[in-house]
Amino acid sequence: MACVIVVGSQWGDEGKGKVVDLLTERVQGIVRFQGGNNAGHTLVVGGEKFILHLIPSGVLHPGKKCFVGNGVVVDPEVFLGEMDRLTARGVEAGPGKLRLSERAHLIMPYHKALDLAREKAKGGAAIGTTGRGIGPCYEDKVSRVGVRAVDLLEPEILQAKIEANVAEKNFWLTQYYKEEPLDAGAIYQQYLAFGQRLAPYITDVALELDEMLEAGQSLLFEGAQGTHLDIDHGTYPFVTSSNPVAGSACCGSGVGVTKLGPVLGLVKAYTTRVGGGPFPTELEDENGKWLRDQGAEYGSTTGRPRRCGWLDAVVVKHSVRLSGIEGLCLTKLDVLTGLKKLRLCVGYRLPDGSTMHSVPASLAKLAQCQPIYEDLEGWQEDITSVRRYQDLPAACRTYLERLVQVVGAPLAMVSVGADREATIMMKDVFAQ
């Protein structure tokens, strides 16, 4: 029995989809525990492309149970839309397979309206959110006025909550942001209908997960976004509104902390970021363009081009510490093939000449951080068919070994291409 947690160790988009897909074969249940449909996984199975934002990608595997935990914020329309699209393509997505926590908070139309209105009002200082209503939904959860999945099953409570919320949100929307008001009655009718369809899926996820663990089954906790987008530990305020660190798997699913582990950290072979915020190793030159083009670095949720830069080992080391990462899953190594020289950021230098090896809380300070680079040789050989670590080009191994040394965690797997098979397995994470 294992509860493997997979988290992103950069700013999201580390290529979790493939790693999660590989690990899914070894578990009986897959759990999402934070975030919402701001995430996006593109998967190719049997030549067919699937993009999932909310439902765990494990749904594509027959016989696996997929859970959306209480820590996730759920847009019911997106959940149902994904379910319908899967069903239309012959993928089983019924309540025997897909479970939604009764405690999960729901994204409401006013959350999306507020998200967009706020970003518009911020102008050049915008966070660059995905516009999916994630932040405002988590705000309502913490303010104790949120609508939970369980409320869909209790129409009177649902109606009262929607009316109270719409009255307040309309004030903000119309008076402060000068936007159109929303209609509480229409939202209630829409959510009532969602509730009728979702009722068979809504359950006590924590209880069901506990039953699986009691039966000796293994679970995979699929993190969304990345550590440096964490509301507490990330580059605040240019962060998401949940906790992508591994510890959040406990609160966001209801599985006790002593049951969880091992923890794996996803690391892309270079760095990307979408939206605003500091990014010390960002490249706005030919190398940055190379990474974006070779790595197809465009958001699967918003289609935005991702900002690209050299691998920042300071960022990864920080994440290894925050999440207790025990194994690195290195992705997209093949994207670096063909570059003559590579740079690895191993520290930051401040204007006063001092150095840092962690990410400062002050964004003003982070903006002043100059990367301390180590220059390494690139490699020209195609590595996509390599399956054993020792068969990688020497320059490639040197790059990986230096990364491992700086961040202080070993490699668990290395992905050398988009296909499932294009993977070098270094360690059996289930054999603990």
Binding site for ligand IMP (CB under 6 A): 12-13, 38-39, 127-130, 132, 134-135, 224-225, 229, 238, 240-241, 274-275
Candidate list 21, 41, 53, 115, residue with the active-site label: 41
Is residue 13 part of the annotated active site? The answer reads yes
Q: Which residue is nearest to ligand IMP (CB)?
A: 275
Shortest Cβ distance from residue 139 to ligand IMP (Å)? 11
CB nearer ligand IMP, residue 102 or residue 222: 222
Give the other-Cβ count within 10 Å of 239's Cβ: 23
CB nearer ligand IMP, residue 202 or residue 266: 266
CB nearer ligand IMP, residue 209 or residue 231: 231
426: Cα separation from own chain's centroid = 24
Shortest Cβ distance from residue 254 to ligand IMP (Å)? 23
Shortest Cβ distance from residue 302 to ligand IMP (Å)? 7
Contact 270, 332 (CB under 8 A): yes
Q: Which residues of 177-215 are buried (b: 16+ CB within 10 A; e: fewer)?
A: eebeebebeebbebbeebbeebeebbbbbbebbeebbee
Dig out the tokens for 256 from the structure: 């006790």
CB nearer ligand IMP, residue 150 or residue 239: 239
Dig out the tokens for 216 from the structure: 């000796």
- Which among 25, 26, 96, 84 is positioned nearest to 54, based on CA atoms? 84
Dig out the tokens for 275 from the structure: 């939206």
* Peptide bond between residue 109 and the one before it cis (omega within 30 degrees of 0): no
Shortest Cβ distance from residue 128 to ligand IMP (Å)? 4
**CA dist., res. 222 & res. 3, Å (int):** 10
Shortest Cβ distance from residue 224 to ligand IMP (Å)? 6
CB nearer ligand IMP, residue 148 or residue 273: 273
* Residues known to be catalytic: 13, 41
